Amino acid sequence: MTQIDSHSATNPPLRRIGLRGRLAATVAGRRRLSGETRRLLPLVAPVALGGIAAVVAALWSFAVSSPDGHTIAAAAAFLLAAAIAEGFPVPLDSVAVGGTSLATVFIITTAVLYGWTVATPVAAFGMAAVELARRRELIRVTYNTGVYALAAVAAGTAAAAVHGSNLGQLAAATLVAGLAFYAVNITLVAAVVGRSSGEPSRTVLRRYVSQTLVPLGVMVCVALVLVVVWDRSPLAAVALAGPLASIVIYERRMYEAFVRLREVDRMKDEFIAIVSHELRTPLASVYGAAITLQRDVLEPKTRNSLLEVVYNESARLARLVDQVLSASRLESGGSSLAVEPVDASRVAREVVESIRPRLPSALHVDLVHAAPPPFVAADAEKLKQVLVNLVENAVKYSPEGGRIQVRLAPAADQVRFSVQDEGIGMPSGEQEHIFEKFHRLDPNLTRGVGGTGLGLYICREFLQRMGGRIWVESELGIGSTFSFELPRADTAPGMHVNAE
């Protein structure tokens, strides 16, 4: 049976109800109830109170029935099994409302074999233990525990209505116990979700039932096998632990793999969308300029500026294709490096000189270093690509102009490169993510500047492969400084420096 209540179906509403502290304050009457809590309380309170009453009544009946050692041991074993199963739910892709826990199997089995007086505490304590261990909010623990306790009472009562212990009767008892547990469980879940989201509970219920009917069938069948085997020999039933554990482990692995595949798929779609968008803009400019150049009789000045557009936009296209190729090679492990002693100041000079002619008039770029810095152990081409990317970003993200400084300085056995701009900067929360593949800031924050989100990812990967690291310090509206370090060639193992 599907145990949606304990994992996610009720989680969103209950998470929104408020935190543990808020509930404590509510109970103490010190704070006023939030609107959401007030809306849910008429449902949460009776379920929680009903659950507590059911557990107390079950424990009392159990105690006065003077249970023998076997029953007490069985209750303890099922409680342990339910808690473990609850702690390791089985994620099912088709069950959008959450994971499915095999705890339900143990609760139904207990209900059939030992009645509601054992099943209710097994369900309630198993659920409460796991929810408390996960440090869930108190209000959620009580609601979920209440739901389980009431569902177990229903299962035990339904099973007791079927008399006899032959195979057919055990099967009938398991079936009705499973259905009763499921009916109470899913109805209360749908009720709280509906109340919280504003969606009619009946609609939520219909959706949940259609998503969970198959897992319900599987759970009832597994419970029946357990009931029959336990009825013959509890020790033999222990042998079921292995197959059940492997089903859970296998299903969890499959689900993780599935989630990863879906993420890759999503990233591919996003990548295609971003790259096609980024390709279209320069292509449109080149196309427009070519048409004008072909058709019209133009003044030399206009003609030159159109040719410049063609040149700049083609260069942009080439850079984009290079980025895509680099990212794809990094992904497939096909990007090889030729690490050798490299004159860092020469590379930086070349990068700065190549970018100067393309700078907007409000921007200035300077190369700053005291004494010529030591050679670095790097792949010259990759180092150049990293620096070009950082300087071009500094240009792109400085729409109001300003000064860009490329600095080089020795730092212990490394050489530190930094590119500082006075551009738009970025919020601190984003700074750790911008080196991830495809990660771009909100268009409002980047003021609509285009890009693929690949450049910094490539920089980080290249630098890591060359034994370096990269980081950023930035303040929104003030500017950013991207810094990276690479090992000095004279201290890197196996490097011989031949300075000219």
Cα–Cα dist 290/249, whole Å: 61
Cα–Cα dist 129/344, whole Å: 60
Sign of CA dihedral 455, 461, 467, 470: positive
Tokens of 243: 């197959």
What's the closest the beta carbon of residue 454 comes to ligand ADP, in angstroms? 6
**232 versus 277: smaller Cβ distance to ligand ADP:** 277
* 3-state SS class at 366: strand
What's the closest the beta carbon of residue 438 comes to ligand ADP, in angstroms? 8
What's the closest the beta carbon of residue 486 comes to ligand ADP, in angstroms? 19
Binding test (CB under 6 A) with ligand ADP, winner from 85, 480, 487, 492: 480
What's the closest the beta carbon of residue 387 comes to ligand ADP, in angstroms? 13
User: 387 to 446, contacts with ligand ADP by CB under 6 A?
Assistant: 393-394, 397, 421, 423-426, 434, 439-441, 446
Helices 455-465 & 300-332 angle (0-180, nearest 10): 50
Cα–Cα dist 204/219, whole Å: 22
**216 versus 454: smaller Cβ distance to ligand ADP:** 454
Whether the CB-CB separation of 256 and 94 falls below 8 Å is answered with no
Total residues interacting with ligand ADP, rule: CB under 6 A: 21
**253 versus 277: smaller Cβ distance to ligand ADP:** 277
What's the closest the beta carbon of residue 180 comes to ligand ADP, in angstroms? 55
Does residue 460 interact with ligand ADP by CB under 6 A? no
Phi, psi of 396 (to 5 degrees): -60, -40
* 3-state SS class at 38: helix
Cα–Cα dist 105/108, whole Å: 5
Cα–Cα dist 388/328, whole Å: 19
Site string for ligand ADP, 18-57 (x = CB under 6 A): ----------------------------------------
**13 versus 282: smaller Cβ distance to ligand ADP:** 282
Spatial neighbors of 70 by CB under 8 A, at least 6 apart, are: none
Q: What is the DSSP letter of 357?
A: G
What's the closest the beta carbon of residue 405 comes to ligand ADP, in angstroms? 12
CA 17 to chain centre: 23
Binding test (CB under 6 A) with ligand ADP, winner from 373, 455, 468, 487: 455
Binding test (CB under 6 A) with ligand ADP, winner from 156, 178, 374, 453: 453
Whether the CB-CB separation of 399 and 424 falls below 8 Å is answered with yes
What's the closest the beta carbon of residue 459 comes to ligand ADP, in angstroms? 8
**204 versus 434: smaller Cβ distance to ligand ADP:** 434
State the residue for tokens 């990759």. 382
The length of the chain in residues reads 500
What's the closest the beta carbon of residue 101 comes to ligand ADP, in angstroms? 41
User: 208 to 227, contacts with ligand ADP by CB under 6 A?
Assistant: none
**152 versus 394: smaller Cβ distance to ligand ADP:** 394
**Which among 455, 457, 496 is positioned nearest to 316, based on CA atoms?**
455
What's the closest the beta carbon of residue 465 comes to ligand ADP, in angstroms? 17
Phi, psi of 481 (to 5 degrees): -125, 115
**159 versus 454: smaller Cβ distance to ligand ADP:** 454
Whether the CB-CB separation of 485 and 469 falls below 8 Å is answered with yes
What's the closest the beta carbon of residue 472 comes to ligand ADP, in angstroms? 8
Whether the CB-CB separation of 132 and 83 falls below 8 Å is answered with no
**122 versus 458: smaller Cβ distance to ligand ADP:** 458
**343 versus 461: smaller Cβ distance to ligand ADP:** 461
Binding test (CB under 6 A) with ligand ADP, winner from 119, 189, 223, 456: 456
What's the closest the beta carbon of residue 391 comes to ligand ADP, in angstroms? 9
Cα–Cα dist 147/152, whole Å: 9
**48 versus 456: smaller Cβ distance to ligand ADP:** 456
Cα–Cα dist 181/187, whole Å: 10
Sign of CA dihedral 6, 197, 206, 179: positive
Q: Give the pairing type, strands 402-411 and 363-368.
A: parallel
AA identity, residue 359: L
User: 339 to 398, contacts with ligand ADP by CB under 6 A?
Assistant: 393-394, 397
What's the closest the beta carbon of residue 350 comes to ligand ADP, in angstroms? 20
Burial of 107 (0-12, 13-18, 19+ CB in 10 A): buried
**88 versus 438: smaller Cβ distance to ligand ADP:** 438
What's the closest the beta carbon of residue 186 comes to ligand ADP, in angstroms? 45
Residue nearest ligand ADP, Cβ-based: 451
Whether the CB-CB separation of 18 and 40 falls below 8 Å is answered with no
Whether the CB-CB separation of 449 and 399 falls below 8 Å is answered with yes
Of the candidate spans 144-152, 169-177, 237-245, 451-459, the one that interacts with ligand ADP by CB under 6 A turns out to be: 451-459
Binding test (CB under 6 A) with ligand ADP, winner from 185, 285, 452, 483: 452
Site for ligand ADP, rule CB under 6 A: 393-394, 397, 421, 423-426, 434, 439-441, 446, 451-457, 480
